[in-house]
Amino acid sequence: MTISIVILLLFTSFNQRSKTENIQAPMNSFEFERLHLLYSDTLHCPCMQISIPYSALFSTIETESFHPICSSNFVSFNWIMYLVTAYEPPDWITNQDFRQWDAAYFRALQTFCLVANATVNNILENFLSSILIINQIISQDEFDRQMNVTLYHLKTTLPNIFIQALILIRITSQSDGLMNVFSTNWYFAKSENQSSMTRLESRPVTYNNSICSCATSRQYSSPAALFHP
């Protein structure tokens, strides 16, 4: 009998008792952080509004600077117009010479910069208009962690979206055999058939001692060069 009473007393003394206490809203952030620190496992604080637009959490999102070429004079209107109107390349240069297509090159860079800036702005606008769903108030540390993960995912997604668009352009140009105006990927050549009739056909340009052909590869690149007579 004595042993049973001792066991009962020990069980009662070690048995934890829970108490539910309701705190009326509104509650300031300092009070919530204090309660969360003390009762992180049992604190239950439902949200009156479970959907919050990200624009209510971020007024603006600053983006890292783009490539320095996008803020240089090489993509300016005056520089491109100078190459188009004021500068005349020598008559003897070929299509392989950079001076033959330098204006188109810098115009393409200018377009890439504009598209990159527009793409980033559109994605950020879509992100700020999206909704955060949360049914429980979380601590400041947990909120910061979730936001950092979200922003990191957004940051890593942006370049992939732009790269996929460039890959699509390369695939379309290479598979359809689209010829640019400078004939640096395909060119026209005369060909005679058995009836001695001359016809014009398109042929792929090869680089690196004919190892790489624009008909079979879309990833080859050749450094720009200036040739002299």
Residue 11: per-residue pLDDT: 47
Task: Find out whether 51 and 131 touch, Cβ atoms under 8 Å.
Answer: yes
Ranges of each domain in the chain: 33-143+150-182
State the CB neighbour count (10 A cutoff) for residue 80: 20
Residue 117: per-residue pLDDT: 87
**pTM of the predicted model as reported, rounded to 2 decimal places:** 0.66
| Model confidence band, residue 6 (pLDDT cutoffs 50, 70, 90) | very low
* Between residues 3 and 206, the one the model is more confident about: 206
pLDDT digits (tens, 9 = 90+) for 111-136: 989 988 888 888 888 888 888 887 77
Average pLDDT, the chain: 75
pLDDT digits (tens, 9 = 90+) for 32-72: 667 667 666 666 666 677 788 888 887 777 776 788 899 89
Residue 72: per-residue pLDDT: 92
State the CB neighbour count (10 A cutoff) for residue 49: 8
What is the mean pLDDT of the segment spanning 93-119? 85
Torsion angle defined by CA atoms of residues 111, 114, 118 and 120, in that order, rounded to the nearest 10 degrees: 100
Give percent of the chain above pLDDT 90: 6
